[in-house]
Amino acid sequence: MLTSLNLPLILSTAFLASASPGPATLAIADTSMQAGRRAGLALALGVATGSLAWSSAAALGLAAVMASSTWAFEAMRYLGAAYLLFLAFKSARNAIFGPACTAHTKLEPSPARTYAKGLALHLTNPKPVLFFGSLYTLGVSHQTALLDLAIVIVAIGVQNTLTFSLYAWLFSNRWVSHGYLRLRRWFEAAFAVVFAAASLKVLTARLPT
């Protein structure tokens, strides 16, 4: 079992991709600092679910479909860019006018709504399915059994869930939260820039040739 897989390569590459700063990890950090650990974990689970969906889709061949279907990739690209731009707008508005939360009253969105936000953040970005498609091409042989492939998908899903949850746990630490409350407008300005840059990156993305 798993003899046709380069599991260390797959897991290490997937870990570097999920742990690297990006729209998803910054959204988790932002939510955890603003609304606390429960909200941060809910967002992290939403992002992890979106990642699992793209990973499964890539394993089932959707990456090849996306790569060969220009209209599908373009539709997802514009949708993802628009959502990231929306997050940039919200962060910029908070930086200019101040977030709705204060040191005494934190925002506490419902876990279901926050989970849905994390899920939408990942599902509206077409780049993960292309990343997972490339990853499986490198680390998975054509002779790989379906059971082995399922084990890899689950392993990546568990690893991503732990990674994103760790971000939520770290950034919901009370010392980090207190630091955020003192410098929240600077944080929001930084998030606005990063989300806007990520939107531009998605908008200018092109299918690999």
The phi and psi torsions of 14 (rounded to 5 degrees) equal: -65, -35
The three state secondary structure string of 152-201 is: HHHHHHHHHHHHHHHHHHHHCCHHHHHHHHHHHHHHHHHHHHHHHHHHHH
Q: What is the pLDDT at residue 98? A: 65
Q: What is the pLDDT at residue 39? A: 94
- Report DSSP state, residue 22: S
> Distance (Å, rounded) from C-alpha 100 to C-alpha 108?
11
Q: How many helices (H) and strands (E) does the chain have?
A: 9, 0
Q: What is the pLDDT along the chain (209 residues), one digit of tens a residue?
A: 555 566 777 788 788 878 777 778 888 988 898 888 999 999 999 999 999 988 888 777 755 555 555 666 666 667 767 766 877 887 788 778 765 544 444 556 788 999 999 998 888 776 776 677 667 666 666 666 777 778 888 999 999 999 999 999 988 888 877 776 677 777 778 778 877 886 777 677 655 54
Q: What is the pLDDT at residue 18? A: 81
